[in-house]
Structure 1
Amino acid sequence: MKHSIYLFVFLPFMMWSQSNFEKAEKLFKEKQFDQAQSVFETVLKTDPLDIKTIEYLGDIAGQNKSWDKAIGYYKKLKQLKPSEANYHYKYGGALGMKAKDSNKFKALGMIHEVKSSFEKAISLNPKHIEARWALIELYIQLPGIVGGSESKAIKYSNELARLSAVDGYMSRGHIEEYFRRYLVAEQQYKKAITAGGSKTSYYKLANLYKNKMREPEKAKTIIEIYNNKVQD
């Protein structure tokens, strides 16, 4: 009898919540973020601990560059599921973006937590590619006096190479380009094209030719090669 009462009272409520989640998820995938946010917030009121809803709301906040909101949602996810690497990665990313938009003094106070969040993601998931990319970006952009380090960036690039040849070449090319060693960057991007042939690798090389090496004809040729490859 108690089981029947439970089904009668709560099953319609659960079905309503699920249908709203599916509606919000569809809106999110269609990039209608404001509408999706409104529906997800309704779902969260009925189930405040729903992990996927919290994650979607964090992602929407990130899309809107509402870093404090994103940080709050991702921090909640870390508390609910501390063993999930991606939540530490997303938290570190949102915190890093807030630091970037903050004054230098405030940003410096966030750097350690940003780094440790990405490192935690890697410790939980040794194959986490995005966290290594994030650390590379952090180490090349930070001044040496506050923890920047080309050698550490290269260390993570080497780790990427062991996980994915393309990411290894692309990340090393990115490091070389950042430090204006354009000929070395060119060779790395060419290796990435040979290893994987992704659109990103072609466009990174074309961008290097056009904007850094001042060789627009080479850039045009690379894009044409890619377009012909896609059409074949």
Structure 2
Amino acid sequence: MKQLVISFLLFPLLIWSQTNFEKAEKFFKEEKFNQAKPIFESILKNNPSDFKTIEYLGDIAGLEKSWDKAIFYYKKLKQLKPTEADYFYKYGGAMGMKAKEVNKFRALGMIDEVRESFEKAIVLNSGHVDARWALIELNLQLPAIVGGSESEAIKYSNELLKLSPVDGYLSRGRIEEHFKRYKASELQYKKAISIAGSKMCYQVLANLYKNKMNEPEKAKNVLEELRKKELSENL
């Protein structure tokens, strides 16, 4: 009888929480973050361990470039559920963005935690594509003296090739482009187009032609090819 009474009293609260969560989630998907955030924050007060609410608040903080808040929410998620790869990936991403805004000495102290977070995401989920992309970019952006490594970037690109060929070719193209080996990069991007043909694949090749190889006519031709492809698919 006691349990029945407690359930009866809690029922309206649960209904309220669910209804407001759905409303906040709808706002989030519509990119109305200013409307979603206060609702999520209100829900969190009543349920401080609600994973999805915390994640949404972390995502909103990230979209607002409020990196300290994003780090706070993602760190809480890691502590609540240390077996979820995405929480480590998002935490590492927020830490990495924060490191870009602070002075070099402080940033150096954050790099290991950023790298370890992405590596942990891969340990928890061996098929984590985004964490490998993040590690590739980290190894390209960091000077060798503080841990940057082309060979490490290539290692993760090769892993991507096995998991998702299009990501493998795109990431290898990104590496070649970073080191100004534009012909090699062009070849990799063309391989990505041949197996996926997505809009992004065409755009990265067009950007390479236009911004790096100074061949605007080739860029124009690639975008025209994309336009024709999209038209034929919509017929």
Please classify the TM superposition score into its range, dividing by the shorter chain length: over 0.9
Which aligned pairs between 1:48-197 and structure 2 lie closer than 5 A? 48-197=48-197
Moved over 2 A (4+): none
Deviations 1:29-78 (A, max 9, x none): 00001111111001101111100000000000000000000000000000
1:136-182 Cα deviation digits (max 9, x unpaired):
00001100000000000000000000101100000000000011000
Deviation at 1:227, TM superposition (A): 1.0
Q: Matches of 1:76 and 1:60 in 2, distance apart? A: 15
SS in structure 1 at match of 2:194:
helix
Counterpart-to-counterpart distance in 2, 1:34 and 1:135: 32
Letter in 2 for 1:62: G
SS at match of 1:127: coil
1:231 corresponding residue in structure 2: 231
One-letter identity of the residue aligned with 2:62: G
State the 1:7 CA deviation.
2.7
**2:211 matched to which residue of 1?**
211
**1:9 counterpart residue number:** 9
TM-score (norm 2): 0.98
Alignment-derived partner of residue 200 in structure 1? 200
Mapped partners of 2:12, 2:102: distance in 1? 46
- The one-letter code of the counterpart of 2:11 is L
Distance 1:102 1:199 in 2: 35
> C-alpha separation between the residues in 2 aligned to 1:185 and 1:141?
17
CA shift for structure 1 position 8:
2.2
The one-character-per-residue Cα deviations of 1:53-112 (angstroms, maximum 9, x if unpaired) are 000000000000000000000000000100000000000000000001111111000000
Deviations along 1:194-232, one digit per CA (max 9) or x if unpaired, are 011111110000000000000111101101101110110
Q: State the one-letter code of the partner of 2:165.
A: A
TM-score (norm: length of structure 1): 0.99
Report the residue type matching 2:123 in the other structure: S
1:31 corresponds in structure 2 to 31
**Root mean square deviation, CA, Å:** 0.6
Aligned length: 232
SS at match of 1:97: helix
How far did residue 4 of structure 1 move? 2.8
5+ residue gaps in structure 1? none
SS at structure 2 position matched to 1:82:
coil
Q: Distance in 1 between the 2:78 and 2:185 partners?
A: 37
SS, match of residue 111 in structure 2: helix
SS at match of 2:14: helix
